[in-house]
Amino acid sequence: MTTTPYIFDANGTDFTESVIERSRSILVLVDFWAAWCGPCRMLAPILEKVVGEYHGDVLLAKVDTEAEQELAARYGIRSLPTIKLFKNGEPVDEFMGALPESAVRTFIDGHRPRASDRALEEAVTLHDNGDTDAAIALLTESEQADPDNDKTRLMLARLYIANDNFDDAEEALGRVGANTKLDPEFGAISTKLNFAKLSATVTAPDQLQHAVHQNPDDCESRLRLGAWALLNDEAELGLENLLEIVKRDRSFNDDAGRQNLLSAFTMLRSHPKLVAKYRRLLARLLN
């Protein structure tokens, strides 16, 4: 094989440097092959052609398993050819056997960073620095350029919510695909939007607290207070008020206490202990 800057032989001595370390900044395919393997000979020119088309965005390391048996054993190679893809210092995907060019490209493209993913990172930075309008403009342009990336729409919805632009947030969520709507992140953002609408007019949460203190059965005030608390880093206060609605009036707004409590559990995935506590409390009420 004639090596190029993008295609090279790798062995047990240099594998850490040539594959693992380089994969922290660029995708590296590793072709585990052997001279006696017919499918390996079929796949090799396809791999080399496809990798060459990426002009350095993807590298191909060739490992002769006859000469590098320890390296093959380390990565559990039991069938040839086996192609492993390394990213960020780890093997993240693989395929075995000879694939056509189109399938190899699809395999690689599934792991390449998309321009829209880089736009997402930049938008987060803009938002964190206080320029949410610029972040929204960037993601709007990115969505038009890459309409298949639902992550853009989810982030747009988050930013619209941050700007109290609930109609646009709802439209952004409406544009995501059916599979993405099954993602917990979609559920969390939808819940956040609902709570944001409920708490939009809350200017004095202490007045709501006073209202429920004066009238513990004031479920409307509890619902708005709970929504406000969940959006303002007072998760337990929010969950407690929603649970109280379940205790006091299951018929309020078509069982709004239980429904919003379940939605809050989805939104609070980063608080597993708190969620577990209130799941138990809710279960006791319902059983």
CATH of the domain at 214: 1.25.40.10
CA distance 156 to 19: 36
Using 50, 70 and 90 to split pLDDT, how confident is the model at 3? Answer: low
Per the structure, the complete domain to which residue 42 belongs is given by 7-109
Catalytic residue at 219? no
Shared-domain flag, residues 19 and 74 = yes
**What's the whole-number mean pLDDT along residues 264-276?**
93
Catalytic residue at 40? yes
Spatial contact of 64 and 34, defined as CB atoms under 8 Å apart = yes
Shared-domain flag, residues 12 and 82 = yes
Is residue 65 assigned to a domain?
A: yes
- The gap from C-alpha 162 to its chain's centroid, in whole angstroms, comes to 19
- Range list of H helices, the chain: 15, 38-53, 69-74, 101-109, 115-128, 132-145, 150-162, 166-174, 184-199, 205-214, 219-231, 235-248, 256-267, 272-286
Q: What is the pLDDT of residue 48?
A: 95
Shared-domain flag, residues 103 and 123 = no
Is residue 219 assigned to a domain?
A: yes
- How many domains is the chain built from? 3
Catalytic residue among 27, 40, 51, 161: 40
Q: β-pairing, 27-33 with 58-64?
A: parallel
Average pLDDT, the chain: 94
Shared-domain flag, residues 98 and 171 = no
In tens, the pLDDT along 78-96 reads: 999 999 999 999 999 999 9
Shared-domain flag, residues 29 and 73 = yes
CA distance 24 to 22: 5
Catalytic residue among 27, 37, 58, 275: 37
In tens, the pLDDT along 176-200 reads: 999 999 998 999 999 999 999 999 8
In tens, the pLDDT along 114-158 reads: 888 889 999 999 999 999 999 999 999 999 999 989 999 999 999
Is residue 253 assigned to a domain?
A: yes
Is residue 192 assigned to a domain?
A: no
Is residue 123 assigned to a domain?
A: yes
